[in-house]
Structure formats: structure tokens, C-alpha cells
Amino acid sequence: MRPADLLVTGGTVLTVDGPGTVVVDGAVAVRDGEIVAVGPAAEVAREFEPAQTLDATGCLVLPGLVNTHAHLAMNLFRGEADDVSLEQFLERLLAAELAQLDATSVAVGVEAALAESLRGGVTTALDMYWYPEAASEVADRVGFRLLNGPSFMDVIDPDGRDFDARMAWAEELLTARRDADPAAPAWVMPHSAYMLSRDQLERVMDLAVRFDARVHVHAAESPGEDDAVRARHRGRPLPVLGLAGVLGPGTVVAHAVQLDDTDIELLAASGTAVAHCPVSNLNLGCGIAPLPELLAAGVPVGIGTDGAASAGALDMFAGIRLAALLHKGVTRDPRTVGAERAVRMATAGGAAVLGLGDRIGSLTVGRRADLVVCDADRPHVAPNTDPWSAVAYGLTAADVRHTVVDGRVLLRDRVLTTIDERAVLDEITALRRRRTAGEETP
């Protein structure tokens, strides 16, 4: 028998490989953070002797969910800007962020967000927010797969830097990260065309080219954004970003709700990917993204939560369900976006959108061991003979029993192993109390 660090056994394994292989009473063996076997539980058990085992009896085993658009520490402002338009939301939130955020508060918010994410089966997130260094330090300590980088707006940031000073700081940050790990993916994050001038967008893209960085940007989220971009650039969001060199195969556009046929053709022709955020888009009254048209045009699409201040929660299962259901209602065709398509967007599709399609997103030999074990033996799921439907229409975040990232068990039997959840909740509550009282963060 060969040694293994971890054996997940006894569940129905939804591999999300190309053919959509499902292994009933299956097992996944892990060694050195890598999947080394997937197959029938009895066969894998005969081949491997594990150091630890996770019993998945009565469960679905699936790849870790990939959140392709988040503002993790925005949970600090949860509930402070609900039931308003995007423009009103941004006005409230940006003022609060610039006045109140620092590295310490962002670290607290991120740790709470990672606790929520791991409990909800999320193992990877693309995070756009202030103080990315603080977020990365927390994610490294917790063991979460976090992608982030410097973000840019034409405002004075929480540390008092204007755009030029932030560009200089960003170059230092990207240089330090490259020196520490040349193989780590680099990201730059111009907020949007309405928050940046043409010159600023081009300068950020020059930085991206010099550091071979991928790009994350908001675009076409609401009719109000369209008006703001027209006023600033005399054009619509997607063409403006295209002229500034922002679009391309290394770029992820968040939202992409207000699109016409020309916009969709531009995204497809440029190879740009989209992070579909249906929960946040509905909450802010932005509309419904033309997902079927994007998929038909060949645009890569993942699912994102956006921030908890606009979406309420970092709940990828809610995103999967809405991605499958919304467009059936819009088109009046139940075949428009099926359960399997929606689940793939949250796993293998999301991994591909982030440039990680060869590392995560499916439970196949050679991939990194990011996986989730969900309890399917529950009244709202059982009996369900179709695992794709069970994930898309039945499971909730509360059904996640175990979460594994890079072979490490970060949630075991619904208990976080690398986060002191009570302490984090106490910290985030204390932060809110100090902010309400007008006190500074210690």
C-alpha cells in the first residue's frame, strides 16, 4: 500500500472533469496537497494507507467553490447600505471605507470572511479591496487560496495616498511579491472606467504588462454606471476599457449586466472573462446579466459573491442557484442554464476564469486537493439521484461538513481548524462598536 496524507471516502464524488464523471461510493486520496487517486472507495482503500480519513458517507464530494469576485473585508459594513441603488451604495460605502479602514480592521474583516467562506465550501477567492497585504497575511495563516493585488481609484486612499503615490506603492508591492515567489500569479485591479481616467487606466495596464499581471475590473454593472462613464469618457464602459487596453484573456470583468450585442462580441473576441454576481446585482437593482448570451458567445464565466455589504453574505451556493434559475425565468426556457452548467461555473469554470484551470476546479489526479464534503442526507436534499441537481437546487452553505484546501483540512465536522471563530466574531463586533462610538482602531 502507498502512503497518503488524507483519504476522503464513502461519498458520491462529483469530479467536474470533462465528461462529468460521478463516482458513487467513491474516494479521493491526497498526498503532498495533490490528488493522487479518485475512484471507487474499495479500490482506493486497497491502494492507499492514509494518515487521516474524512468519512463522507451520505455526502457529496465536490471541488472547492471558486469565488471569482469578492470584497472580503467589506463585511465590516454589512447592513449599512441595503435597499439602495448602486450609486447610493457606493457613495455611502466609499466614504466609510476611506474614513475608517486600516490594515488592522481589514485583517479582522478578512478573517471573518474566510471563516464564512470555508463554512460555505469556498476554497478560492479573487478579492479586490484596500490593504491587500493584510488580507494575504491572514489568508496565508489560515491556509485559504486568496488572489489579490493593488486596487486603483481616483480618490485619496485610506492611507492618504493620491493616485500617483498609490501607483508607486503598488510597484513596490508587486516587486516584493515577485521577489518572494516568482511563480505566484500577480494581479492589478483598476476599479472601473467611472472611477479612473483614460490616462490612469493606461498607466495601470502598463504596470500589469511589466509585471505580467492579470487584471480585475468592474464594468457594466448598472444604468447609472453607464451614464457616469459616458459623462467621463464619452463612451460606454466596455468599449472604453477596450480602448485603454484593459480587456484581454488575462482580465476578469465583474458584473457585466448592462451589455448590448456589441459588448458581448467585444468580450468574446478579446478573450475577456466575466464574474457573474447575480445576488448582488439583484439586491442593488442593477438588472440581470445576459448569461445565456455570454455563454453562447464563448465568454468564460465564473460566479462571484461581490461583497457582503451588497450581497448580504458570501454565499456561493446562492449564486449557483440563481445562475441556474434566473435565466430560465427570463427566457421561459428551463433548458437555458442547467444545473451542471451552473455548478461548473462555480468550480472548474471559475478556476479557468482565474487562470488556475490546470491546478484546481476538478477532482482529478494531479490537481491540487481543494474539495468540499456536503451532507446530502438531509430533508431538503434527499432523495436526489442527480448530484448536479442536488448541488444547484438543494444544498446550502449550512450543509458543508468538511472543507479542504491544498490538502489541509480547514473545516472538519463543521469546526474551523485554523480560525478561532469566537475570537474573530468578538473582534468584528468590537470594531463595529468602536466605529459607532467614533473611536480609532487600536
Q: What does pLDDT average to over the chain?
A: 96
pLDDT tens readout for residues 342-381: 999 999 999 999 999 999 999 999 999 999 999 999 999 9
Q: Are 252 and 216 in contact (CB under 8 A)?
A: yes
| 326 in the same domain as 221 | yes
| 324 in the same domain as 183 | yes
User: Does 318 reside within a domain?
Assistant: yes
User: Does 440 reside within a domain?
Assistant: no
| 387 in the same domain as 312 | no
| 172 in the same domain as 107 | yes
| 71 in the same domain as 193 | yes
**Structure-model confidence comparison of residues 415 and 93, the more confident one:** 415
User: Does 428 reside within a domain?
Assistant: no
How far, in Å, are 2, 9, 346, 390 from residue 384 at the CA level?
A: 35, 20, 20, 6
Q: So what's the pLDDT on residue 144?
A: 98
Given a cut of 90, is residue 230 above it in pLDDT? Answer: yes
Given a cut of 90, is residue 277 above it in pLDDT? Answer: yes
User: Does 71 reside within a domain?
Assistant: yes
pLDDT tens readout for residues 54-75: 999 999 999 999 999 999 999 9
d(CA 186, CA 194): 24
Q: What is the CATH number of the domain that holds 402?
A: 2.30.40.10
| 252 in the same domain as 158 | yes
Q: What is the CATH number of the domain that holds 124?
A: 3.20.20.140
- Cell output for 259: 451589455
pLDDT tens readout for residues 314-348: 999 999 999 999 999 989 999 999 999 999 999 99
- Looking at 305, 331, 353, which one is the last position of a domain? 353
| 369 in the same domain as 345 | no
Query: pLDDT band at residue 19, thresholds of 50, 70 and 90?
Result: very high
| 59 in the same domain as 69 | no
Q: So what's the pLDDT on residue 107?
A: 98
User: Does 212 reside within a domain?
Assistant: yes
Least confident of 96-100, 215-219, 278-282: 96-100
| 57 in the same domain as 118 | no
The residue type of 193 is: A
User: Does 430 reside within a domain?
Assistant: no
| 274 in the same domain as 399 | no
pLDDT tens readout for residues 169-180: 999 999 999 999
pLDDT tens readout for residues 128-170: 999 999 999 999 999 999 999 999 999 999 999 999 999 999 9
| 381 in the same domain as 286 | no
**Residue 273 main-chain phi, psi, to 5 deg:** -100, 165
- Looking at 329, 353, 377, which one is the last position of a domain? 353
d(CA 411, CA 143): 11
Q: Give the structural domain span for 280.
A: 65-353
Q: What is the pTM (predicted TM-score) of this model?
A: 0.97
User: Does 32 reside within a domain?
Assistant: yes
Sequence-separated (6 or more) residues with CB below 8 Å from residue 98: 155, 156, 157, 158
> Based on the structure, what is the number of domains in the chain?
2
Q: So what's the pLDDT on residue 436?
A: 77
Q: So what's the pLDDT on residue 441?
A: 53
Share of the chain above pLDDT 70, in %: 99
Q: So what's the pLDDT on residue 48?
A: 98
- Looking at 300, 334, 353, which one is the last position of a domain? 353
Given a cut of 60, is residue 442 above it in pLDDT? Answer: no
| 331 in the same domain as 240 | yes
Q: So what's the pLDDT on residue 80?
A: 85
User: Does 180 reside within a domain?
Assistant: yes
Query: pLDDT band at residue 43, thresholds of 50, 70 and 90?
Result: very high
Q: So what's the pLDDT on residue 47?
A: 98
Sheet holding 145-147, edge to edge: 65-70, 122-127, 145-147
Q: So what's the pLDDT on residue 440?
A: 57
Given a cut of 90, is residue 25 above it in pLDDT? Answer: yes
- Cell output for 59: 455526502
